[in-house]
Amino acid sequence: MSLAVQLGVVVGYLLVALAVGLAAYRVAESTAADYYLAGRSLGTVVLLFTTFATLLSAFTFFGGPDLAYAAGPEWILVMGAMDGVLFAVLWYVIGYRQWLIGRAQGYLTLGELLGDRFDSTGLRALVAGVSLLWLFPYVMLQQMGAGEALVGLTDGAVPYWGGAALITVFMVAYVGLAGMRGVAWTDTVQGLFMLSVVWVAVVWVLSSVGGLGAATGAMVEARPDFASLGGGTYTPGFIVSSAITIAFGVTMFPQINQRFFVAGSERVLKRSFALWPVLVLLLFVPAFMLGAWAAGLPIEVPEGANVLPVLLNEYTPGWFAALVIAGAMAAMMSSSDSMLLSGSSYLTRDLYRPLVDPAASERREAWVARVGVALFATLAFLASLTRPGTLIEVGDTAFSGFALLAPPVILALYWRGATTWGMVAGIVVPQVAYLLLVLVPALPRSYAGWDYALALMVLAAALTVAVSVATTASPTADPRRVGLGAD
Amino acid sequence: MADQNRDFVWIPTFAVLIVFAVPWFLWGVDRVVAGLPVWVWWHVGWMCLCAVLFARFARGAWNRGMRVDFGPTADGTDAEAFDRDDARADGGERA
């Protein structure tokens, strides 16, 4: 398969995604609620797939199979526990409550909700600032994933920086054009597409290696430890801390948290809730088993490439491998543009307008949003060129940073007694401590597989409660604004 | 009251669903059944069980623990009125 055809398929797919975004743009109204939240009108299928495709980033799609290839298929269980069950429960506990509050009060961002509850612009800016800080490595992760994907597909003919640059250009263009409705529409197309191609890939690979039993047999022969649950990387500490930090972290991602506001009705949320574990099952088992099976197959994964493109190139026709990579890149793009879209709403609504220019015109705000997105994506691109770790490592760092926000936020949503200072202490202290752990290489990040972020989450909750009890609520704060009326 | 007691069953139910999403009792087991490690089959069954129980929760106990009450608002409407509107709005799903 020639390089031209491979690149043609990839770029062609990205252009189709862009066209869907443009179509959505044409039906959109020019209000902030419509641009950022698609008018709070999404139905079950679109909500399910936009949330799913947003989760389905480079981390899931390439990082997961890579980890299964290197350490065994237990990642299926970690992602099942975290994504299939824990995230679904948190979607109800945090997301459904935010949806109820957001619809009654018209909030567009988490910072806006919290800022209004505590009548504190500072808290609003703090939440937005912390979110943007951790969004940075996660955008970077998408660029790294795209770069590695094209290296794997083209056997190094397209350099790493080329793939990373390609996706950067597309995502900036996309966010500038489409808004939430466009993002949600393309997510739906891409989610369905990815789900189908993964299964086609499984059938293709299995039929060329002689079936399910033969593939697993070869895997066990090459890596006897793969069939056994646990062992190696997968200590109980690693499994529990990954599942908890990722699930809580995901709820605080700007692009996921903002999706909590967009359901059209309660019925949509109920259906999505029940269908969620099935979707997780249908995608993760085949995707991660492909990675694990590859360990028993005679393939050579070049340094810095992902296992999935290499495997597909070997066992499926070139055009199909290119199509899967295109789909995966589109999935990364759909995660990235959601991130940048939500990031830009945090930047303009929670930072720029309240702190810099309260009288800014809509046009000026839109301009700030687009310049902000371009700048943010470019800086992340430059940082991604340094390859600071594996996809899983970089993703984990971002997830844990976000996870530390969750305990204070849950308390603010359910507990009348939370005060502004309680929130500030519960957010700032764990964030500073975690940043030190991340930035100072001499400090350990985990103990026997247990991530220190777990302890910091407990600290965040304890500080929020303790400082709230010790301080008095601001007289202008009002828990009724988030539905905490009578006790 | 009986209804409320039944609602509380959901808290331990969710706890069990989360804890045993990883079959800890199969730790170190390496049996391969029907072409996949046996604990992968556990995962398949468990996700299906989750979907069934989530659907039952959504049907029978949805809204538990939420108690959203915005108190009297500036324009004089109360929280109950909001809930009634809510119930009506959920009658039909928008695409």
To the nearest whole Å, the CA of A88 is away from the closest chain B CA by 9
Is the domain spanning A3-391 CATH 3.40.50.300? The answer is no
CB pairs under 8 A between A and B: 150
Residue scoring higher pLDDT (A113 or B75): A113
Which residues constitute the domain of residue B29? 2-65
**pLDDT in the model for residue B88:** 37
What are the residues whose beta carbons fall under 8 Å from the beta carbon of A34, sequence distance 6 or more?
Answer: A28, A179, A180, A181
C-beta of residue A35 within 8 angstroms of C-beta of residue A175? no
Q: Is B78 a residue whose pLDDT tops 50?
A: no
Report d(CA A70, CA A67) in Å as an integer: 5
What is residue A126's predicted lDDT score, i.e. its pLDDT? 96
- Residue-level pLDDT at A112: 93
Phi, psi torsion values for A405, nearest 5 degrees? -75, -25
* B76: in domain: no
The burial class, CB within 10 Å (0-12 / 13-18 / 19+), for A416 is middle
Residue of A nearest to B49 (CA): A277
Residue A44 has, within 13 A of its CA and on its CB side, a CA count of 15
- Contacting residues of B for A485, CB less than 8 Å apart: 69-71, 79
CA distance linking residue A6 with residue A320, whole number of Å? 9
* Number of domain units in chain B: 1
Q: Which long-range contacts (CB under 8 A, 24 or more apart) does A124-130 make?
A: A124/A350, A124/A354, A125/A350, A125/A351, A125/A354, A125/A355, A126/A424, A126/A427, A126/A428, A127/A350, A127/A405, A127/A409, A127/A427, A128/A346, A128/A347, A128/A350, A128/A351, A129/A351, A130/A401, A130/A405, A130/A427, A130/A431
Q: Do the chains contact at A486 and B17, CB–CB below 8 Å?
A: no
Closest CA to A304 of A381, A398, A387, A379: A387
Q: Where are the alpha helices (DSSP H) in A178-315?
A: 179-209, 212-222, 236-252, 254-259, 266-294, 307-315
DSSP state of A447: E
Written as six digits, the tokens of A330 are 């589109």
CB contact under 8 A, B95 and A86: no
* Positive or negative torsion for Cα A154, A158, A164, A167: negative
B32-50 pLDDT tens trace? 999 999 999 999 999 999 9
What pLDDT score does B87 carry? Answer: 40
Is B19 inside any structural domain? yes
**Residue A454 and residue A249: Cα distance in Å, rounded?**
11
Burial readout B15-50 (b: 16 or more C-beta within 10 A, e: otherwise): eebbeebbbeebeeebebeeebbbbbebbeebbeeb
Residue B31 placed within a domain = yes
For residue B37, the surrounding DSSP H or E stretch is strand B36-37
Contact B59 A270 (CB under 8 A): yes
Nearest neighbour of A270 by CB, restricted to B29, B37, B62: B62
- How many angstroms away from the CA of A340 is the closest CA of chain B? 25
CB A409 within 8 A of CB A110: yes
Distance CA A371, CA A13 (A): 26
Quick one: which of A145, A206, A211 has its CA closest to A387?
A145
Q: What type of residue sits at position A342?
A: S
Most confident of A192-196, B20-24, B64-68: B20-24
Which of B14, B50, B92 is opposite residue A277, by nearest beta carbon?
Answer: B50
CB atoms within 10 A of CB A31: 11
pLDDT-derived band at B75 (thresholds 50, 70, 90) equals very low
For residue B22, give the nearest of A88, A96, A239 by CB distance. Answer: A239
Interchain contact A85–B (C-beta under 8 A): yes
Which residues of chain B from 34 to 63 reach within 8 Å of chain A, CB to CB? 34-37, 39-40, 43-44, 46-48, 50-51, 54-55, 57-59, 62
Question: What pLDDT shows up at residue B83?
Answer: 43
Q: Is there a contact between A84 and A277 (Cβ–Cβ < 8 Å)?
A: yes
Q: Which of B75, B14, B20, B30 is nearest to A221 (CA)?
A: B30
Q: Which tokens in the block code for residue A257? A: 């948290």
Quote the tokens at residue A35.
């641009």
Q: What is the Cα–Cα distance from A261 to A256, expressed in whole angstroms?
A: 9
> Is residue B7's pLDDT more than 80?
no
Residue B26 lies in a domain: yes
Residue B89: inside a domain: no
> From the first residue on, what is the mean pLDDT of each consecutive set of 10 residues in chain A (487 residues)?
76 80 69 68 73 70 87 91 89 92 90 94 95 89 83 80 86 73 75 84 91 92 90 88 90 89 83 87 91 90 80 86 78 78 88 86 81 89 81 79 95 94 96 89 78 92 96 87 76
What is the crossing angle of helices A318-345 and A179-209, to 10°? 150
Closest to A407 (Cα-Cα) out of A251, A261, A236:
A251
**Considering the domain boundaries, does residue B12 fall inside one?**
yes
Q: Which residue of B has its CA nearest to A232?
A: B28
Residue B7 in domain:
yes
Largest CA distance in chain B: 65
Characterize A138-155 residue by residue with b for buried, 16 or more Cβ atoms within 10 angstroms of its Cβ, and e for exposed.
Answer: bbbbbbbbbbbbbbbbbe
Query: Which residue type sits at A294?
Result: A
Distances (CA, A) of A60 to A277, A332, A403: 15, 10, 18
